[in-house]
Homo-oligomer: A and B are copies of this chain.
Amino acid sequence: MRLAVIPGDGIGPEVVAEGLKVLRAVVPDLETTPYDLGAARWQRTGELLPDTVLDELRQHDAILLGAIGDPGVPPGILERGLLLRLRFELDHHVNLRPARLFDGVRSPLAAPGPIDMLCVREGTEGPYVGNGGVLRKDTPQELATEVSLNTAFGVERVVRYAFERAAARPRKHLTLIHKTNVLTHAGGLWSRIVEEVSVEFPEVTVAYQHVDAASMFFITDPGRYDVIVTDNLFGDIVTDVAAAVTGGIGLAASGNLDASGRNPSMFEPVHGSAPDIAGQGVADPTATVLSVGLLLGHLGRTEQARKVDAAVAFDLSTRDPHGPVRTTEVGDRLAALAGG
């Protein structure tokens, strides 16, 4: 397996080291190439994602990313120029975010019940395309626009992926989340495509919810969800709500997939670079390890993925939820469990 590794900023390198430790425990033939990308490189050289680096990344089977970001960098530079550029250039149209409440993990909810959902967020369209602009900047007449672009092609491929995942799960249930009553143009397209693709998956039951109502049900009744499919921006928000109720972004894994397999997919914990705790060895690498599990699953290494997931599940069920986290110790335990 040829893996490109982008440790990134802040706690990124720390959690990635543990992710690799666990990955090596189950994949002996691992070849890694590190890439120095992120706030530090931008501050040093002004470079975000040189084309040559992008070309090299394409030569790998997958990418593991730690975290990108630094409070010293103005908002949007790293996001648009690096993180989102990677997602768009590598056609990561499926942004995969499982949210499962593991045994032993404290939810902020009083009575969470079992939670096991798989959020399938679109990754290359919607309000994330960067379309729009500013007129009469810095004047009292300023006009700023953001244009959400939604294509049948783009919606269909992510909806199809979501149906496939739903069909393979015990509950076989899919919920479309949108705001069709207000965003009628895009909402009409999403609804139509879900309806059309559903015909091919008669075994999957389908529900629809407005994003505001869903954000509430994620809190009051998260157990009702199985697979979710939604647009890029709604997905950004509801997956963080899902992460919050399942124990926080310390545990939230994600995969940015080119489901066609033409480009390498990229796996990253949902949390940021957390500069406040960087370098102290106290960042929880569990989300990165779970992202490694997603990586293995995506590459068809089902048995190895299962081992990593089982290691995390076991470790969480026996961890002291109030105890301090030592990054390397968590990694050591998970590697031993997964490899054992």
**Residue contact A148 to B149, C-beta cutoff 8 Å:** no
Interface residues of A in 97-137 (CB under 8 A from B): 107-111, 127-128, 130, 132-134, 136-137
A233 CB contacts on chain B under 8 angstroms:
179, 182
A172 to chain B, nearest CB (A): 24
Alpha-carbon separation in the docked complex, A131 to B84 (Å) = 25
Complex: A187 Cα to B128 Cα, angstroms: 13
Q: How distant is A301 from chain B, measured CB to nearest CB, in Å?
A: 30
B153 touches A149 (CB 8 A): no
| Number of A residues, CB within 8 Å of B | 68
Q: A109-B110, A127-B148, A216-B240 are in contact. Are A185 and B134 (CB under 8 A)?
A: yes
| A147 on the B face (CB < 8 A) | yes
Do A141 and B147 touch (CB < 8 A)? Answer: no
When the two chains form the complex, which single residue of B76, B110, B213, B245 contacts A182, counting CB atoms closer than 8 Å? B76
| B249→A189 contact, CB < 8 A | no
Check: A211 CB closer than 8 A to any chain B CB. yes
The answer to whether B110 touches A144, judged by C-beta atoms less than 8 angstroms apart, is no
**A184 pairs with B148, CB closer than 8 A:** no
Report which of B110, B141, B182, B249 forms a contact with A108, defined as CB distance below 8 A: B110
Tell me the A243-284 residues at the B interface (CB within 8 Å): 243-245, 248-249
| Residues of chain B with a CB closer than 8 A to A80's CB | 181-182, 184
Cβ contact within 8 Å between A76 and B184: yes
Copies of this chain present: 2
Question: Cβ of A70 < 8 Å from any Cβ of B?
Answer: no
Flag whether A236 is at the interface (Cβ < 8 A): yes
Q: Does A188 contact B (CB under 8 A)?
A: yes
CA distance A182 to B234 in the complex (A): 13
Q: Is B181 in contact with A79, judged by CB distance below 8 angstroms? A: yes
Which B residues lie within 8 Å of A148 (CB)? 127, 132, 145-148
Contact A183 to B243, CB < 8 A, known contacts A145-B150, A147-B145: no
Q: Does A241 contact B (CB under 8 A)?
A: yes
Residue of B nearest to A127 (CB): B183
**In the complex, which residues of chain B have a beta carbon less than 8 angstroms from the beta carbon of A141?**
151-153
Q: Is A55's CB within 8 Å of the partner chain B?
A: no
Residue A219, interface by CB 8 Å: yes
| CA of A312 to CA of B223, assembled, Å | 32
Known interface pairs A79-B181, A152-B140; A216-B187 also in contact (CB < 8 Å): no
In whole Å, how far is A231's beta carbon from the nearest beta carbon of chain B? Answer: 10
| Chain B residues whose CB sits within 8 angstroms of the CB of A189 once the complex forms | 134, 142, 144
Question: Contacts of A240 on B, CB cut-off 8 Å?
Answer: 212-213, 215-216
Query: CB of A180 within 8 A of chain B?
Result: yes
User: Chain B: which residue is nearest A132 at the CB level?
Assistant: B185
A-B pairs with the 10 shortest C-beta distances?
A142-B152, A76-B184, A212-B240, A144-B189, A146-B148, A219-B244, A216-B244, A79-B181, A75-B181, A110-B110
